[in-house]
Structure 1
Amino acid sequence: MKKKIVSAMLIAAMATSMFAGCGSSASSNSTTGTASTEASTEGSVSTSDGSTLRINLASEPDKLDPALNTTVDGAALAANSFVGLFTFDKDSNPVPALVSDYTVSDDGLTYTFTLKDGLKWSDGSDLTAADFEYSWKRAADPQTAADYSYLFDVFAKDGDTINVKADGNTLTAVLAAPCPYFLQLCAFPVFMPVPQAAVEAANADGTNPGAWCAEAGFVSNGAYVCTSWKHNESMVYEKNPYFYDADNVKVEKLEFMLSADDTATFSAYNAGDLDFIDSIPSDEVASVINNADFHVDDQLGNYYIAFNVNDKMFDGMSAEDAATLRHALGILIDRGYIAENIGQTGQKVATAFVPDGMSDGNGGIFREDDYDYPDADSHGYYTAEYDFDAAKAEATELLESIGYKFNDDGTLSDENPISVEYLINENTAHQAIAEAIQSDWSSIGVDVTIKTEEWDTFLNDRKAGAFSIAREGWIADYDDPINMLEIFTSDSGNNDAQLGKNPENSATPDWTAYDNLISEIRTTTDNTARVQMLHQAEDMLMDTWAAVPIYFYNDDYMCKTNVTGIYNTKFGTKYFMYATIE
């Protein structure tokens, strides 16, 4: 899931001030760094009366329809206002929510779910298995234009629709092949139910599928209902008395400050106006890193940069030469410097795209599988060791191999300049990483312009391919490598690199084999072969150099010490419904 990274990285005193800070998230247990478990200083306490929790996750959410959301902050809002058949517990395991019982056929293809009795929407109307049939088919329907519609490719087809059927209080789903992560999907936002009558009433002509929840007051079925929404300013969510587990929800109200200004939210936190912030200004982390209210949690994700493979910078090139250009720029990023000196909360240099600690879907850990990368010795990319001068020499050699000429001082000749625009969303953290990359690339004379956009504009421009190079982040939606790899299929709404999106362009790689491989991974019944195919797919992606991993995430945030019960999954979703304020 796309990460709106406004949580900041520590900036200690550094020799080069231009490399000051970066945004973040990855795995405190699986990495080592300065965000340690050493003795903490005393944190601050909430001044709330116990009925209201005051939160900042991010700025204005892009979409609140769980079928249309693609961001981590949006997933947190969905998880606290909607709930599916399953939910994630504090250990990131899927556990039954609206399900009283379920069975799986011996061949692993048919799931039969029995819903709990007496389930209600927030308006008091009945919630039934038919709501799930409608919602899943809606999300899978191309007319809905859900970026996550490809997740429904795991289903067998019943004619032109996915094979899911409701019968009274029972929902039956038939899959095309055994899916080791299907119950995790059942806890993911795009599989949450939406109210058919409200959705269709607000979208009579079919042109705006998310219109039904564009303002406060929309019907939901989770722990809280959105009762107030001052756009770009604040949101209020109040307890839903019809929530299936309402008796265990103690905090009556969630108040969200909508802002990407981490300096302002940090000030509000210190003033006692916020109890939880998901972002810390880069230059403040050093002052709070040992506080009891500062946290660094495990996370499965990857901070990376994406090249738009259809961008004009590759015009006239072959697909191989375009990949060589990306290769040269990709290795000329000192990712270790970014992780260690800008990150400093335990981020680990990303040696490939699938993050450390992710399962392989066959009882093992993907990164620990006995599998050799074809470029295992490639300088400074697949390995954590890095020598900038050697990388610079290699980048120069790669560019010369495709016709670029250099001056005696090692910079690009005026005959063949390279000028690129690097796109980020508003945040000082992303700015710092962009400046670090800008400095690295300028060492060979590449001219880099940093362009900053508001979050919603940024998301839409990336999706439309209206960029040359952009900062990216992907937090896993479930614990299986295919989630990191299927986002790059040619039909994926999350494929910002535009791989396979314009097959007529001679500068872009032929992506048919990748699409077919992902399809085979989804349908194979041989889990051992599946693991090997997943590694093969990652190799194919890495060979394009269209997605250049920087580091694996962890997740840092601040929470008042007398607020307990909030939990955060390794997928980056915060669950507030079981919070208590002492």
Structure 2
Amino acid sequence: MKFSKSFLLASVVSTALLSTSAFAAGVHPETGEKLADDQTFTYRILDEHSSFDPQVNEDVSGSEISRNLFEGLYSQDNLGNLVPGVALSHTVSDDRKTYTFKLRDDAKWSDGKPVTAGDFVFAWRRLSSPELASPYQWYAELMSVENADAIVKGEMKPEELGIKALDDHTLEVRLTKPLPYFAAMTTHSSTFPSPSWAIEAHGEAWTKPENIVSNGAYKLVKHVPQETAIMERNTHYWDNASTIIDKVETLVINDENIALTRYLAGETDRTEIPAGQFPRLSKEYPDQAVVFPRLCSYYYTFNLSDSGPEEFKDVRVRKALAYAIDRRVITEGVMQGGQFPAYTFTPAVTAGFEVPNVDFAGWSQKERDAKAKELLAAAGYTKDNPLEFDMVYNTSEGHKKIAIAMSQMWKQKLGVKVNMSNMEWKTFLNERGNQNFELARGAWCGDYNEASTFLDLMDSESGYNDGKFANAEVDQLLSDAKSMTAPQANYTRIEEIMATEMPIIPIYHYTNVYMMNAQLKNWPIKNAEQNWYAKNLYKVAK
């Protein structure tokens, strides 16, 4: 995504001009559709999110909630293009290293206080601060914000971060190097503003419904851990008059089949379709079963740290396990939701990315199986000395089915014995993040639409490099790519190194496979990042 020196977004927004009289008449002001009387959007999530705090959250479901509770500098439209959030526009210096954002003067917090540039300064300093120890602390480094590296390492104070409020409605950000996609990175929830007064008054308890202050289209009114979170419209939101959905409810339902049953009973408006059931449901409910590509990768990661098993230090073992996986059996036999077999980490749907032709992707599965047997035997693992290891995934029927399929392939083709176990989400994140595993499920959804959002996980210093893969050439290629206008050659080389070293096993690239209430309209199915905002949705009458 390229930007001119002055990137003006204010003219893009038309929703603020919507007629409130049209709402009163019960019709959509642009489409003329008759609106449902009840404008509540209820959707299912698999696990309790990690946090309501935008600088602490580290999962997809939490980010969805953050985008409804908070608003950053920029948001996205239904195609994934940038549109104004708190920022109306920005300018870039001639050396492309200083961004100056002009903020709207009508943005307010849910307690009525104005949203200022200082709220972003406070939030970004929190993000980089060792004191908070955010799981997304590394994102400040990734954005190349001046001094972020030293602050994260504890060598400089957060106050020295390259961000400054020139006045209440002008924010300056200084980068260490030009970053062509920097503005797009500000749609990520970790960059959203935070209310210093609420945090100082309540500490970690500031995100409780009775304490939280947010600046997005909604405010949190109820939270029952492991059950539900309920948000209602923030009447102080600058575009509240154009919002149609009044209430957003999340329901934590760990079992996909129970979630489907509750959806069919009318309890939710959206739920994921269980593995293998899309063909049937698309025939029975053609107006509700939907599928579309998603900017996400499903993979397994080897623990290559000192705490990892000695067996996985041998690249021949890692390659053998990766080659023996028949990805089409998983996508077409287990998942059956249009997922794409993956031989690289970065999905083809990534903007500006050309998937490289890594060697094993072009082989037949028979050829991959033969090579897997050869490599494992060369590594010393035979029928008399079988390879055995532990494999962990977070609790989900779909993850379990995939793990079983993989373990059976390894057993039948290679004589490998796998000990499978599952963990509750937060426990799983903690154990994987602390390298308390041998082989662990992984999934990554892009924080922004550029290949580095995936490949940066392979940087030896990345906070989400859970397997602790380290390669000096990869680190250098990633660093150089950040200031390139055409980094494809670097990305191709990184994927080639990954195919050679096999620090992870790519399994498939995602699609979203949903049951969606036919009354729910304007879902951004063409936005590969799936950054959706409830304020843009609406429900029509039956």
**Is the TM value for this pair above 0.5?**
yes
Residue matched to 2:453 = 483
Structure 1 counterpart of 2:188, which letter?
Answer: F
Partners of 1:217 and 1:227 within 8 A in 2: no
Aligned-pair distance for 1:489? 2.1
Residue 398 of structure 1 is aligned with which of 362, 375, 380? 375
Q: Cα offset for 1:217?
A: 4.4
Cα-to-partner distance string for 1:132-177 (whole Å, 9 max, x where unaligned): 1111121122332223222322122397533111022100111122
1:515 aligns with 2:475: yes
Could you report, residue by residue, the CA deviation over 1:284-341 in whole angstroms, capped at 9, with x for unpaired residues?
4333124201111221221111111137663288x5xx21111111111111211122
Q: 1:281 aligns with which of 266, 270, 274?
A: 274
| From 382, 394, 411, the counterpart of 1:425 | 394
Q: Which moved more, 1:51-60 or 1:324-333?
A: 51-60
- Tell me the CA shift for residue 124 of structure 1: 1.1
Match of 2:524 in 1: 567
- What's the counterpart of residue 124 of structure 1? 112
What is the CA deviation profile of residues 353-376 of structure 1, one whole-angstrom value per residue up to 9, with x for unaligned ones? 11103234xxxx332xxx6x6xx4
Aligned partner letter, 1:518: L
Q: Offset of 1:519 from its aligned partner?
A: 2.6
Q: Tell me the equivalent position of 1:21.
A: none
> Offset at 1:211?
4.4
Deviation at 1:386, TM superposition (A): 2.8
**Higher RCO, Cα 8 Å, sep 6+:** 1
Residue 293 (structure 1) aligns with: 288
SS at match of 1:366: coil
The 2-side partners of 1:336 and 1:300 are apart by: 19
Q: Assess, with a 3 A threshold, how the Cα gap between structure 1 residues 288 and 182 changes in structure 2: closer, same or farther.
A: same
Q: Equivalent residue of 1:84, what SS?
A: coil
> 1:193 is aligned with what amino acid?
P
* Percent sequence identity over aligned pairs: 30
Structure 1 distance, partners of 2:490, 2:41, is 46
The one-letter code matched in structure 2 to 1:240 is: N
Contact 2:309-2:438 within 8 A present in 1 as well = no
For 1:70-85, list aligned pairs within 5 A. 70-85=58-73
**Distance apart, 1:424 and its partner CA:** 1.2
**Counterpart Cα distance in 1 of 2:295 and 2:253:** 25
Is the 2:73–2:86 contact (alpha carbons within 8 Å) kept by the matching residues of 1?
yes
**Which runs of 5 or more structure 2 residues have no equivalent in the other structure?**
1-34, 149-155
Report how far residue 230 of structure 1 moved: 1.1
CA contact (8 A) 1:166 1:172 kept: yes
Give SS of 2:536's match. Answer: coil
| Structure 2 residue 289 is the aligned partner of structure 1 residue 331 | no
1:446 aligns with 2:416: yes
Q: What letter matches 2:365 in structure 1? A: D
Distance 1:484 1:571 in 2: 13
1:348 and 1:553 in contact (8 A); partners too: yes
TM-score (norm 1): 0.80
Q: Which has the higher helix share?
A: 2
Counterparts in 2 of 1:358-507, with a 5 A limit? 358-360=350-352, 365-367=353-355, 376=358, 378=359, 381-383=360-362, 385-388=363-366, 390-404=367-381, 406=382, 412-413=383-384, 416-443=385-412, 444-500=414-470
Match for 1:221: what amino acid?
N
Alignment correspondent of 2:485: 527
2 CA distance for matches of 1:558 and 1:71? 22
Aligned to 2:250: 256
Match of 2:302 among 298, 307, 310: 307
Residues 1:520 and 1:162: Cα distance change in structure 2 (over 3 Å): farther
- Segments of structure 1 that go 5 or more residues without pairing to the other structure are 1-46, 204-209, 407-411, 501-510
Deviations 1:458-490 (A, max 9, x none): 122111111111111111111111111112223
Q: How does 1:235-254 map to 2 (within 5 A)?
A: 235-254=229-248
Greater than 4 Å deviation, 4+ residue runs: 214-217
Q: Which residue of 2 aligns with 1:155?
A: 145
> Structure 2 residue aligned with 1:107, among 82, 95, 101?
95
> Do the aligned residues in 2 keep the contact of 1:565 with 1:576 (CA within 8 Å)?
no
Say if 1:72 and 1:572, in contact at 8 Å, map to a contact too.
no
The residue type equivalent to 1:399 in the other structure is: L
1:165 aligns with 2:164: yes
Q: What is the one-letter code of the residue matched to 1:351?
A: Y
- Taking the aligned partners of 1:60 and 1:246, their CA distance within structure 2 comes to 28
Task: Look up the equivalent residue of 1:382 and give its one-letter code.
Answer: A
Q: Aligned-pair distance for 1:87?
A: 0.2
What is the identity, as a one-letter code, of the residue corresponding to 2:88? S
Contact 2:147 2:161 in 1 (8 A): yes
1:269 corresponds to which of 244, 263, 266: 263
Give the Cα–Cα distance (whole angstroms) in 2 for the partners of residues 538 and 143 of structure 1: 35
- Decide which of 219, 236, 239 is 2:213's aligned counterpart: 219
Q: Which amino acid aligns with 1:467?
A: F
Q: Give deviations 1:1-45, integer Å, cap 9, x for gaps.
A: xxxxxxxxxxxxxxxxxxxxxxxxxxxxxxxxxxxxxxxxxxxxx
Deviation of 1:499 after TM superposition, in Å, equals: 2.0
TM-score of the pair, normalised by structure 2: 0.85
Measure, in 2, the Cα distance between the counterparts of 1:147 and 1:289. 38
2-side partners of 1:50 and 1:491: how far apart?
48
What's the counterpart of residue 145 of structure 1?
133
Secondary structure (helix, strand or coil) at the match of 2:535 reads coil
Q: Distance in 2 between matches of 1:352 and 1:240?
A: 42
Secondary structure of residue in 1 paired with 2:164: strand
Give the CA RMSD over aligned residues. Answer: 2.3
Give me the whole-angstrom Cα distance separating, in 2, the residues matched to 1:48 and 1:459.
Answer: 40
